[in-house]
Amino acid sequence: MMNKQLQSMSPQLSNADLAPEIDQQWSWYSIFAFWMSDVHSVGGYVFAASLFALGLAGWQVFVCLLAGIMIVYLFANLMGTPGQKAGVPFPVVCRLAFGVKGANIPAIIRGCIAVVWYGIQTYLASSSFIILALYFFPSLKTLQSESFVGLSYLGWMGFLFMWIAQALVFMFGMPMIRKVIDYSGPAIYIAMFALCGFMLYQTGWSAIHFNLSSKSLVGWNNVKEMIIAIALVAGYFAGPTLNFSDFARYCKNKKQMKVGNLLGLPLNFIVFSIFSVLIVSASIPMFGQMITDPIKTVQMLDSATITVLGALTFILATIGINIVANFVSPAFDFSNIAPQKISFKWGGFIAAIASLLMTPWNLFNNPDMIHYTVDLLAALIGPLYGIVLVDYYRIRKQKIHLSSLYNDTKNGQYWYNNGWNTRAIIALIIAGCASILSSFVFTELANFSLFISGAVAGVSYHWLMAKSTVSIEVVEAQTNL
């Protein structure tokens, strides 16, 4: 049935990478490993430890981590379901709501966010390479005295090493990416266990405590900061959760996807957070100060073996998270713009080249610039959640007309107005404005802009689509998935 429907796919909307995945072979472990790769990163380590700076007690932090990650788990299941059901990536899922051409809008938004973070993550990971380089070749320190375009020669060496290493993995396509995902996450656990064990052996359990904040909260302030912490956890994973269909499309069935999400999010995230907090807590008696940067922690340890293994681990961790969160997404997103000219691999290379040209080290070293760049792009993530979820679950009742996703004629269910659903675009603009206002004007609401804009987009879109009851009924009557 599926093959018959897809015989008439428009070449303007399809290629081998965007077409439905028929051979869905991923089990729960691949999804579990996907989340391990996404969670086990330098950023995830710093983020988990940083929640203590809000002034929360240890038990409060773990309650917030669990509550926040359960929200992520819920939305990962919701966003992954249409992709798994139809075997299609995120930009193709967006065709349901935005139209077969209008889907390029959410695709470009998500792709640009991934490019920015891909460059920043690669730059941060180059620090691990520099640690290794200086350890084995101390004379390279002279390369740090001169710079080009804001980055030292040694910095360039580290950045290009990471950049090329990730590109080599991507050259071999999804089979190689799956292998990296399957092995990088567990490798980080081994390294974290070794680092944690070494530091606890040096300091002893008596030196460990879970109240890492220098301030304490009482009354309503406790509740307020806990709510903020929960929102921060959910927001931290907003990017990879949005395009989770890019990976869920390979799952054997929905049950495998949900089991992988359950193990990879609540269970995995809490265990990783415990390791992170233990290591940060041990850094206080060991170094006389709290260190939340794991790369700096490894660098300060008086152990050659731990230093080398730690640096190699962080390199592997960054390759894993960057490919998962910031490479696969723009590969599909940019391929969706011109399927016959841009394949999945070329889409990824476009993202990699763009990440190099934007000189991420200059962006990262300018707090105001990175704040406005990232926050402005992120302001549009919430609206995309609202529109996609309301369209699939409320308006279409989880029905997908598969062949129409690749039909660029008036007979297609998702043709709308010359391929564009103006109602979705209007809802995106309305919610985007609400998100920008909450992020940059009413700054006390900034931590909740993801939820505010998502709700505004969902309500706006549902109201606008309610005026199109005839077309909605036709869609429901002719769907086949």
Q: Which of 147-161, 229-243, 292-306 has the lowest mean pLDDT?
A: 292-306
The answer to whether 277 and 48 have CB atoms below 8 angstroms apart is yes
Predicted confidence at residue 373, as pLDDT, reads 63
Q: Per residue in 389-417, pLDDT tens? A: 999 999 999 999 999 999 999 889 999 99
The answer to whether 283 and 208 have CB atoms below 8 angstroms apart is no
Q: Could you give the C-alpha distances from 154 to 2, 120, 133, 299, 416, in angstroms and in order?
A: 53, 17, 9, 17, 53
Distance CA 415, CA 129 (A): 49
Q: Per residue in 210-263, pLDDT tens? A: 666 656 656 667 788 888 888 888 888 888 999 999 999 999 999 999 999 999
Amino acid at 479: T
Query: CB neighbours (10 Å) of residue 59?
Result: 10
Q: Per residue in 33-48, pLDDT tens? A: 889 888 877 667 777 7
Confidence class of residue 473 from pLDDT cuts 50, 70 and 90? Answer: very low
* Max Cα–Cα distance, the chain, nearest Å: 73
Output the six-digit token pair for 471: 């077309």
Distance CA 301, CA 42 (A): 17
Distance CA 306, CA 103 (A): 47
| Overall average pLDDT of the 296-303 stretch | 75
| Overall average pLDDT of the 273-302 stretch | 80
Distance CA 370, CA 361 (A): 10
Query: CB neighbours (10 Å) of residue 215?
Result: 9
Q: Which of 91-105, 235-249, 304-318, 349-363 has the lowest mean pLDDT?
A: 304-318
| Overall average pLDDT of the 429-434 stretch | 93
Predicted confidence at residue 368, as pLDDT, reads 65
> Which one, of 281, 277, 279, 289, lies nearest residue 310 by Cα?
279
Please determine, for residue 11, whether its predicted confidence score (pLDDT) is greater than 70: yes
Confidence class of residue 314 from pLDDT cuts 50, 70 and 90? Answer: confident
Distance CA 62, CA 211 (A): 12
